[in-house]
Structure 1
Amino acid sequence: MHKTLLATAVACGLLASLPFDLAAQAAPTPQDEAQVETLLAQLQALKASYAQQVRQLRELDMQVQALQSRLAGKTAPTVLPAPAGAPPAPETAQAAAPPDEGNRAGSASEAQAARTEAPTRSLKDALQQEHALFDRRFTLENSVSYSRYDRSQITLNGFLALDAIFLGNIAVEDVKSDSLTYNLAARYGFSPRLTLNLDVPYLARRTVYQKGGAGGSAAALAEEQTGGKGLGDIALSANYKLFAETDTRPDTVLTLGITAPTGQAPYGILWKVIQPPGDQYTRFAVPEKQPTGNGVWQANLGLSAIKTLDPAIVFANIGYIYSRPRDFSNISTDPQNLSPGSVKLGNTYYFGTGVAFAFNERTSLSLSFSDKLSAKAELRYQGSPWTKVIGSNANAATFNLGVTHALSEHTTLVSMLGIGLTPDAPDFSLSFKVPYMF
């Protein structure tokens, strides 16, 4: 009994003193408060130092990328992302850095925007082919192109008897033309919005004329070949960026150009009559030489739109070519007749669209469609009214397949295959360009 009372008294004493002990332990001392303030100050100092170091690392990385881009022909630097798991920088550091720069790598859309601002070399080469690149100071471009044209025409000279039998002569006329063009182009960027272009072509042409019905036989052919070579029409143009690309708007480029008639004009070239000896059935005329230019002054106004969809670009263009009438001392093809007069080529509308894909950093593929619609040309002999030239209007549509490959930091190889889709377009054309960026 005494032991039970003693245990009960001890337990009550302990319970009575417990709240006072807890209160004594929970009460902070001045030393604890001072230690907490010291630790908080050290933590804030470490955070500020870390943010400053991250900012300095980014600035240094941007400087290195800018230097490498200038050496490699690029201009837009990439940004060093923040290390994984890094704590957010304090407000002072965030105010000094661009907004949301630390989270740039965490968003797919922002990463795509960053790639758009700094396109790969292959995409930049593709943009240059569409005259939408303005960050290259000077480019010298050499190009060689070959085109093939082959057209056949059946000529009937007679009449149809009993609605089934043709009585008369049947002749087959065939024209085969090969053209080889070397073009030297210089492109100079005056500003981030303006580029001037100068194109100087040199042409070599060969045309073979064939006519069936030689000796009165439709299977026999008479043939004559003519050629011509020399300087083509020199063109001077300017590209001006009207609007820069945004999320909803493409790059918009205005093109203004002028072409001078420096090549051999097709007007006034004399034609010779071909008649094989002893053949009274075959007789046709061919020009003595082939022209290398249009012979008139032309002005070009075009508008292009280019939208970057990494890793591809989509482009489209539309334009108008005005041909100024020009007087010539002779526009007749008859060597016995000198006829002064004027020539007015039909104005031309052109448009096209396409897409270019980047395979990797150095190679891209482009697919495009282009079309040219030309009105009829007109001739006016001295003292006579204007007359339209029958068959001079044209619709030349072409499908183009191109590959661009960067050979080095300064040199690119551009190859293009064009396939004619209409009778007025060449059967096919093949061109190679080698631009060198200084």
Structure 2
Amino acid sequence: MRAAPLTFALAAALACTAAPAIAQDARPAGEEPGGQGQAAAGEASASERAEMARMMQELAALKAAYSQEVRRLRELDMQMQALQARISGRAPAAPQPQQAAPQSAPAPAPAAQAPPAATAQAPAQAPPPDAGYASSAEDAERAREEEARSVSDVRQQQQALFNQRLVIDNGISYNRYDRKQLTLNGFLALDAIFLGNIAIENVESDTFTYNLALRWGVSPRLTLNLDVPWIWRRTVYQKGGAGGAAAVIAQSHTSGSGLGDVTASANYRLFTESSFLPEAVLTLGVTAPTGREPYGIPWRVLERDEDDFIRFAVPEEQPTGNGVWQASASLSAVKATEPAILFGNVGYTRSFAASFDDLDNNPATVNPGRVQLGQAFTLGAGVAFAFNERTSLSIAYNNRFNARARTRYDDGGEWTKLIGSDGNAATLSLGVTHALSPSATFVGMLGIGLTPDAPDFSLNFKVPYTL
């Protein structure tokens, strides 16, 4: 019975001895007694601050990349709209301004869910300024408001451009005429047999013209023009039946060069193009007789008949002008559609009477008098297609109607109409315009004569240069 209390006392002593060791083993792992526990806590706090600094740097980089991507998206949207406007051939109505990008990016996801800095996308680089696209939203906005270059070149050829200060236009043209005429001098016997002389006359003419034109835009509605031509002409005359023999052909040629008739004109824009109406321009011009007139030129006699009648004579030089003052007025209209540009014009030219020392082509006589050229009416229409921003192709029809000229000698006679002086010149033209640079445009045109009074064909090349 006494063994039980002794055993109990021995167990209690062992428990009291083991209690401090058990309590020491029960401390959390990493916690050390005294100053060692405080040092471990300080090291853990520094590691958290380093992690927080790294995450803040990553967050700042993501915010900067996000802002750059937002700006890039806006620029791409403006560039796409400008490109669509150039492809369509005309600028669409300006859309409502887009909402500005927020100054600060929205709050990102928590740091625990943020991707590492190594996976963030680098900001896209903007295209260089000379790559053909808008480098900023302002440039794209201006490109959308401006008209396609190919359309403006067609407008410049048909009427005028009012947004250009000064344009220097250098042009070269070539016209080819070839006329054959059968002359019968006799009578018909038994309504079938011709008795008399048969002569064939042929006139071939080549004309080169260099034209220097200046276009000055005074205001958004008014443009002044000055055209100064230099003309070189060569004409070959052929006449059959020389010496009374039908098989013999006489030939001679003459040439002439010099300043042509200078024209000063003004273009006034009546109203601009709208969704229903075309752009209309009124042109008024005056032509001065600065060229060599075709009256009073000495003639060279090549053949006379037995009665001293002149059978073949040619002028000693070719004229370069009409010799009279002229006033003209025209109205042109241009309507841009997609992808075509429609244009048309009507015009009127009036010539004023003038006096000359000699109106006769007989070198043996001198007959002074006055000349009144006939009135002229012009009309034309065509269509141009803009292939791209720089090139367009056009096809046009032009017609000029000339009334008969009249002459009156100073000996007191009355006005007499000249038979054969009226004309109807119709031409079909094919043209192309191509922008060589932001300031220069190449224009080429081929004209095909549709009536005997029009040139057989004509070639025109010019390069307008904008200062």
TM-score norm. by structure 1 comes to 0.73
Question: Which of 250, 269, 276 is residue 222 of structure 1 equivalent to?
Answer: 250
Q: Secondary structure at the match of 1:275?
A: strand
Structure-1 residue corresponding to 2:456: 427
Structure-2 residue corresponding to 1:120: 148
Structure-1 residue corresponding to 2:362: 334
Give 1:118 deviation, angstroms.
3.1
- Opposite residue 293 of structure 2, the aligned amino acid is A
Q: Secondary structure at the match of 1:127?
A: helix
Question: Which of 189, 194, 205 is residue 177 of structure 1 equivalent to?
Answer: 205
Whether 1:347 and 2:379 are equivalent positions in the alignment is no
Q: Secondary structure at the match of 1:291?
A: coil
Structure-2 residue corresponding to 1:231: 259
Structure-1 residue corresponding to 2:391: 363
TM-score norm. by structure 2 comes to 0.69
- Opposite residue 304 of structure 1, the aligned amino acid is S
Distance (Å, rounded) in 1 between the aligned partners of 2:143 and 2:78: 16
1:30-49 aligned at under 5 Å gives the runs: none
- Opposite residue 168 of structure 1, the aligned amino acid is G
Question: Which of 186, 209, 230 is residue 202 of structure 1 equivalent to?
Answer: 230
Q: Secondary structure at the match of 1:396?
A: strand
Deviations along 1:184-236, one digit per CA (max 9) or x if unpaired, are 00001111111111000000001111011134432321001011110000000
Distance (Å, rounded) in 2 between the aligned partners of 1:404 and 1:273: 47
Give 1:380 deviation, angstroms.
1.0
Deviations along 1:228-249, one digit per CA (max 9) or x if unpaired, are 1100000000001001110011
Aligned CA distance change for structure 1 residues 343 and 116 (closer, same or farther; 3 Å): farther
Whether 1:242 and 2:270 are equivalent positions in the alignment is yes
Q: Secondary structure at the match of 1:207?
A: strand
Give 1:414 deviation, angstroms.
0.4
Unaligned runs of 5+ in 2: 1-66, 103-141
Structure-2 residue corresponding to 1:154: 182
Alignment check: 8 A CA contact 1:175 1:210 kept: yes
Structure-2 residue corresponding to 1:260: 288
Deviations along 1:1-44, one digit per CA (max 9) or x if unpaired, are xxxxxxxxxxxxxxxxxxxxxxxxxxxxxxxxxxxxxxxxxxxx
Distance (Å, rounded) in 2 between the aligned partners of 1:282 and 1:275: 6
Alignment check: 8 A CA contact 2:261 2:291 kept: yes
Give 1:167 deviation, angstroms.
2.5
1:2-41 aligned at under 5 Å gives the runs: none
Deviations along 1:284-332, one digit per CA (max 9) or x if unpaired, are 1211211100100000111111111132210110011011111223323
Alignment check: 8 A CA contact 2:160 2:223 kept: no
Deviates more, 1:241-250 or 1:212-221: 212-221
Alignment check: 8 A CA contact 1:228 1:289 kept: yes
Distance (Å, rounded) in 1 between the aligned partners of 2:143 and 2:334: 16
Whether 1:393 and 2:430 are equivalent positions in the alignment is no
Distance (Å, rounded) in 2 between the aligned partners of 1:139 and 1:77: 27
Give 1:82 deviation, angstroms.
7.8
Alignment check: 8 A CA contact 1:266 1:294 kept: yes
Distance (Å, rounded) in 1 between the aligned partners of 2:363 and 2:286: 33
Aligned CA distance change for structure 1 residues 288 and 299 (closer, same or farther; 3 Å): same
Whether 1:378 and 2:406 are equivalent positions in the alignment is yes
Alignment check: 8 A CA contact 1:156 1:171 kept: yes
Deviations along 1:385-418, one digit per CA (max 9) or x if unpaired, are 2111111111111111101111111111100111
Give 1:116 deviation, angstroms.
9.2
Distance (Å, rounded) in 2 between the aligned partners of 1:335 and 1:123: 54
1:14-93 aligned at under 5 Å gives the runs: none
Distance (Å, rounded) in 2 between the aligned partners of 1:277 and 1:380: 29
Aligned CA distance change for structure 1 residues 276 and 223 (closer, same or farther; 3 Å): farther
Structure-1 residue corresponding to 2:164: 136
- Opposite residue 250 of structure 1, the aligned amino acid is P
Alignment check: 8 A CA contact 1:157 1:170 kept: yes
Distance (Å, rounded) in 1 between the aligned partners of 2:349 and 2:338: 33
Q: Secondary structure at the match of 1:119?
A: coil
Who wins on radius of gyration, i.e. which is larger? 2
Distance (Å, rounded) in 1 between the aligned partners of 2:434 and 2:217: 22
Unaligned runs of 5+ in 1: 1-49, 70-74, 90-113
- Opposite residue 127 of structure 1, the aligned amino acid is R
Alignment check: 8 A CA contact 2:305 2:311 kept: no
Distance (Å, rounded) in 1 between the aligned partners of 2:218 and 2:256: 37
Deviations along 1:118-163, one digit per CA (max 9) or x if unpaired, are 3211111111001242111111010000000001011122232333
Aligned CA distance change for structure 1 residues 210 and 116 (closer, same or farther; 3 Å): farther
Deviations along 1:56-107, one digit per CA (max 9) or x if unpaired, are x68x979xx9xxx9xxxxx989969988xx9999xxxxxxxxxxxxxxxxxx
Distance (Å, rounded) in 2 between the aligned partners of 1:347 and 1:149: 22
Aligned CA distance change for structure 1 residues 170 and 277 (closer, same or farther; 3 Å): closer
Aligned CA distance change for structure 1 residues 128 and 266 (closer, same or farther; 3 Å): same
Alignment check: 8 A CA contact 2:188 2:194 kept: yes
Structure-1 residue corresponding to 2:121: none
User: Among the aligned pairs, what percent are the same residue?
Assistant: 57
- Opposite residue 427 of structure 1, the aligned amino acid is D
Alpha-carbon RMSD across the aligned residues, in angstroms, is: 3.6
Aligned CA distance change for structure 1 residues 362 and 87 (closer, same or farther; 3 Å): closer
Distance (Å, rounded) in 1 between the aligned partners of 2:373 and 2:445: 28
Whether 1:405 and 2:438 are equivalent positions in the alignment is no
Deviates more, 1:291-300 or 1:207-216: 207-216
Distance (Å, rounded) in 2 between the aligned partners of 1:270 and 1:211: 19
Aligned CA distance change for structure 1 residues 228 and 421 (closer, same or farther; 3 Å): same
Give 1:264 deviation, angstroms.
0.3
Structure-1 residue corresponding to 2:346: 318
Q: Secondary structure at the match of 2:254?
A: strand
Distance (Å, rounded) in 1 between the aligned partners of 2:191 and 2:232: 47
Aligned CA distance change for structure 1 residues 164 and 340 (closer, same or farther; 3 Å): closer
Alignment check: 8 A CA contact 1:214 1:221 kept: yes
